[in-house]
Structure 1
Amino acid sequence: MTIRNLSSRIIAYGGLCIIGLILLLRLTTDSSSPSNFDTHGRDYFLHREVDNAARGQWGNAENRQIIKRPDDEHVHMADSILQNELKRQKYPARVNMGDCPRLFGKVTVLVVVVESSYKTHYRVAQNSLHCYLKSVNYTFVLVDLDHDARVKKHCPHDQLFFKKHCAASVYLQDTDWMLVLDADAGVVNPNHCIEEWIDDRVDLIFYERFFNWEIASGNYLVKNTEFARNFLRKWADWQYIQPSNWNGADNGVLQIHILQTVMPGAKAEIKACDAIWHRGSDYDTYMAYVSCIKVMLGATRLWPGKIRVYRRAHGWVRDGYLTSDSWSEHDFMMHGWKAQEIGAGGWQSPYTQMLNASECGNGYSGWYWRKEKRVSTEDIRVMLANFEKGAGRNYPKVARVHPYLTEPDIGECYPTCDDHT
């Protein structure tokens, strides 16, 4: 081998080493796609898609954040600037029956009743509510739909549930925020402030019923705004245009009223759910309509400036029978207490005796709990998890529909289906 050939080989070998070193450095510093699509591979695709979006419309990538989950996974979150625009003013949790500062202004609790049923039901629930109100600075309003002058003047509705929402729109003008309650909603744990569930990014706050995912109509939070008052009045006026079949009354109306309010451009989707609603003949077929609304709303639960829907068991109130009236520190109110007395019909309630508001207002005085009914949050979670499984198994078969597979999507509106989007 000549010296010249040897030199050429050394130069070539050196060049290959340099190229290899460059590639190695690039692999260790560049965010190239991993060879195996495992947890890190999923992270790569999440990073890539959000990075592309960020470069296109969200500004510099330096503003983005990586949020670490407890299971050591990483999920690339959206631009921090975008998140700040939707940031909620978090209300501090109540501690040991302390004060509830007015961070959101005046709060009113409204209970709407009819005289005949109020005299024979709800005493346990209402006594617990009055005991709670002695410890806070909220305004309480009890409206009798049969005799209230303001309601008679502004609400010509003759169906109780729709008239209730009209009454709420009337009394909403007197406050900043209002908690509207069914008469059978009682307080199980007074160590909470109503404001803990107020979200100042929206004007109306609802929650899902646990056993069927339906957005509940009986208890809700509402802010005194023109949007909210109009929403309540339109909801009430659905009395005159509701379908005549098995329709779920004001609860059925609420589902499509929310869909129309937060997604006004979804004409085909609204029409599909409305068609299923009008075909309802009993509870099971009505639930097909509820399923349709759930599909159309998707995973979104917050529409800024409009509405928020708390997921099941995360609102201020839940049905007491889900846990046999057992409760934990995270619970506040329970729904479904229709009895006049503790022990009526075999119902124990969480209390050993009737509450008396005259004994309340000084810490926990006046609250006579059954010790066995207070349990840990983990105990409640297990109870709810078991009920959740049963609710899924028992969901009506006829209600397990996917509207995009059974109702027209573009067949009736093509080629103008997207004109309202």
Structure 2
Amino acid sequence: LQKMRSKQVQNIVAAVALFLSLLMIYSAFKGWSTRSAPVTARSTSAATTAAAAADQFPMINTSSLGQPYYVYPKARTNTSVAVTIVIVVTVGTKMEAFATAMNSIECYAALHGYTVSVEYDNKFTECEVHEDKFFRRHCHTHKLMQNQIKEDDWALFIDGDVGVVNPKRLIDEYLEDGYEIYLFDRFYNWEYAALSYLVKNNARGRGWVEEFSKFEFKLPESFHGTDNGALHPFLMNYLVPETRDPKTRSRTAALCLSLWNRSKGFDDLFGMQACTRMVIGEREHFPEHKVKIYQKGNGWAHDLWIFHSHWATDDFMMHSLKEENFVQFPSDEAGQKHCRDSLLNLVGNGACHVVFPVLKKLNVEKCKAGTEGWLMEGRLQIDNETRKKVYDKMAYRILKQQMELVGKTAAKIQDV
């Protein structure tokens, strides 16, 4: 009897041990599955709720497209390239209007060791001569380069409504040996973008920014398009110096300036821009002037609404991030599919024009420490191959429109 009881006790102990082992395995599995599961959010508000617990959310190595998920970017290892991100806003502007964009810029800069300089446009009295607020920003950028940014460092000027969507991309990637001034093509038409430029802080770079700021005083009394319009005749003069002098400029260059002088609306303005590009030439590299102009799809930023808020890992920054314009991403699958189909078919869709793909406010201190996670809207993500196909399709459509507009300007040659 005693032996039987001893055997029963042993069996009970073994059973308890087995139960505890299974419980530990189950608990471990449950904990692992909780850590590995992507965040499920059927609407932007749901994603915001999920983001409230972001501080406790652990790293996710992989994710399923179609669901919000976390990205944990690593800081750049080579910090030899010093860049100051320059943002100049008009006095009286409420900074909360750009809160989302600014937050992403500050986090990105803190992570990678870049400097951010956010200034109102009344800091330098020398810039008070500029009545146009857009040119006043370029004047302030020039003065910042003179007074605050170290010699041979870099200045990245951006609009206040530009934000980072992919923190893994580096500003350094856009630098190329032998070039000191960088711009890019805007995407919705054939404009060079005035919303951002990357310039080395040396005599050439400072001179370029200063000369551009002073181009305000050459604006015609017409529908001139402020700095975005003026950038085109300015670049024509800078990259094709003989166009500065009426005695040496070509008939085509003279026509471009005549179109600008007589401009009454966007058709005339866009015609002038297309005309100046004919004079400059569809080139990316201008080594004699150390200027590089990135072609469509290759620059560091594009308008958010161009891609109906969709993004790919080849993207870096996005423009037009104003709080007042943000909308919620459709919560129903039909609405989400309509957004994707609209992008692929290149048709308008206001329901998803301005949805920022980063779903939560970023903690800048954690960004600096390299521990902050970026909660990304996976339902708006497309692969890089699709991105390129859509870009190419858009680019050819825009090129066709550009050539058609050039043809229309022929009727105005007799009026020069």
TM (normalized to structure 1)? 0.67
- Alpha-carbon spacing, 1:358–1:341, altered in 2? closer, same or farther (3 Å): farther
Give CA-to-partner distance per residue, 1:40-85, whole Å, 9 cap, x none: xxxxxxxxxxxxxxxxxxxxxxxxxxxxxxxxxxxxxxxxxxxxxx
- Report the equivalent of 1:4: none
Aligned partners of 2:180 and 2:291 also within 8 Å: yes
- Report the equivalent of 1:336: 320
Aligned counterpart for 2:90 among listed residues 108, 111, 114: 114
Q: Could you tell me how far 1:228 is from its partner in structure 2?
A: 2.2
- Alpha-carbon spacing, 1:293–1:365, altered in 2? closer, same or farther (3 Å): same
Q: Could you tell me how far 1:388 is from its partner in structure 2?
A: 3.2
Task: Indicate the SS of the match to 2:92.
Answer: helix
Q: Could you tell me how far 1:204 is from its partner in structure 2?
A: 1.2
- Alpha-carbon spacing, 1:387–1:117, altered in 2? closer, same or farther (3 Å): farther
Percent sequence identity over matched residues?
25
Q: Could you tell me how far 1:392 is from its partner in structure 2?
A: 4.8
Paired residues for 1:277-296 under 5 Å: 277-296=260-279
Task: Indicate the SS of the match to 1:117.
Answer: coil
What amino acid sits opposite 1:139 in the alignment? T
Task: Indicate the SS of the match to 2:112.
Answer: coil
**Structure 2 alignment gaps of length 5 or more:** 1-71, 244-248, 329-349
- Alpha-carbon spacing, 1:352–1:129, altered in 2? closer, same or farther (3 Å): same
1:245 counterpart = 2:222? yes
- Alpha-carbon spacing, 1:115–1:366, altered in 2? closer, same or farther (3 Å): farther
Q: Could you tell me how far 1:272 is from its partner in structure 2?
A: 2.4
Distance 1:374 1:221 in 2: 27
Q: Could you tell me how far 1:241 is from its partner in structure 2?
A: 2.2
- Report the equivalent of 1:299: 282
Give CA-to-partner distance per residue, 1:79-101, whole Å, 9 cap, x none: xxxxxxxxxxxxxxxx9524252
Aligned counterpart for 1:128 among listed residues 104, 109, 113: 104
Q: Could you tell me how far 1:389 is from its partner in structure 2?
A: 4.8
1:352 counterpart = 2:359? yes
Distance 1:273 1:218 in 2: 22
Distance 1:103 1:169 in 2: 23
Q: Could you tell me how far 1:374 is from its partner in structure 2?
A: 2.4
Distance 1:396 1:264 in 2: 25
- Report the equivalent of 1:139: 115
Q: Could you tell me how far 1:187 is from its partner in structure 2?
A: 0.1
- Alpha-carbon spacing, 1:396–1:259, altered in 2? closer, same or farther (3 Å): closer
Aligned partners of 1:355 and 1:368 also within 8 Å: no
Aligned partners of 1:110 and 1:168 also within 8 Å: yes
Aligned partners of 1:360 and 1:367 also within 8 Å: no
Aligned partners of 1:184 and 1:335 also within 8 Å: yes
- Alpha-carbon spacing, 1:289–1:100, altered in 2? closer, same or farther (3 Å): farther
Aligned partners of 2:256 and 2:272 also within 8 Å: yes
- Alpha-carbon spacing, 1:282–1:364, altered in 2? closer, same or farther (3 Å): farther
Q: Could you tell me how far 1:295 is from its partner in structure 2?
A: 0.9
What amino acid sits opposite 2:99 in the alignment? R
- Alpha-carbon spacing, 1:390–1:364, altered in 2? closer, same or farther (3 Å): farther
Task: Indicate the SS of the match to 1:256.
Answer: helix
- Report the equivalent of 1:192: 169
Distance 1:364 1:320 in 2: 27
Aligned partners of 2:183 and 2:197 also within 8 Å: yes
Task: Indicate the SS of the match to 2:78.
Answer: coil
- Report the equivalent of 1:379: 386
Distance 2:96 2:75 in 1: 34
Larger radius of gyration: 1
Aligned counterpart for 2:256 among listed residues 253, 273, 282: 273
- Alpha-carbon spacing, 1:401–1:205, altered in 2? closer, same or farther (3 Å): farther
What amino acid sits opposite 1:250 in the alignment? D
- Report the equivalent of 2:154: 177
What amino acid sits opposite 2:157 in the alignment? V
- Alpha-carbon spacing, 1:341–1:319, altered in 2? closer, same or farther (3 Å): closer
Give CA-to-partner distance per residue, 1:327-386, whole Å, 9 cap, x none: 122111011111169647974320233333244235472311111122210121233234
- Report the equivalent of 1:8: none
Distance 2:232 2:383 in 1: 34
Task: Indicate the SS of the match to 2:166.
Answer: coil
Greater fraction of residues in helix: 2
Paired residues for 1:321-332 under 5 Å: 321-332=305-316
Give CA-to-partner distance per residue, 1:252-307, whole Å, 9 cap, x none: 11111111111112412432211121121100111110111111111322112432
Aligned counterpart for 1:161 among listed residues 134, 143, 155: 134
Task: Indicate the SS of the match to 2:368.
Answer: coil
Task: Indicate the SS of the match to 1:315.
Answer: coil
Distance 2:240 2:403 in 1: 27
Aligned counterpart for 1:361 among listed residues 368, 388, 392: 368
Q: Could you tell me how far 1:102 is from its partner in structure 2?
A: 3.7
- Report the equivalent of 1:226: 203
What amino acid sits opposite 1:323 in the alignment? F
Q: Could you tell me how far 1:155 is from its partner in structure 2?
A: 4.8
Aligned partners of 1:122 and 1:340 also within 8 Å: no
Q: Could you tell me how far 1:400 is from its partner in structure 2?
A: 3.9
Of 217-226 and 321-330, deviating more is 321-330
**Structure 1 alignment gaps of length 5 or more:** 1-94, 413-421
RMSD, matched Cα: 2.7
- Report the equivalent of 1:204: 181
What amino acid sits opposite 1:365 in the alignment? E
Distance 1:280 1:385 in 2: 30
Aligned partners of 2:84 and 2:115 also within 8 Å: yes
- Alpha-carbon spacing, 1:371–1:361, altered in 2? closer, same or farther (3 Å): farther
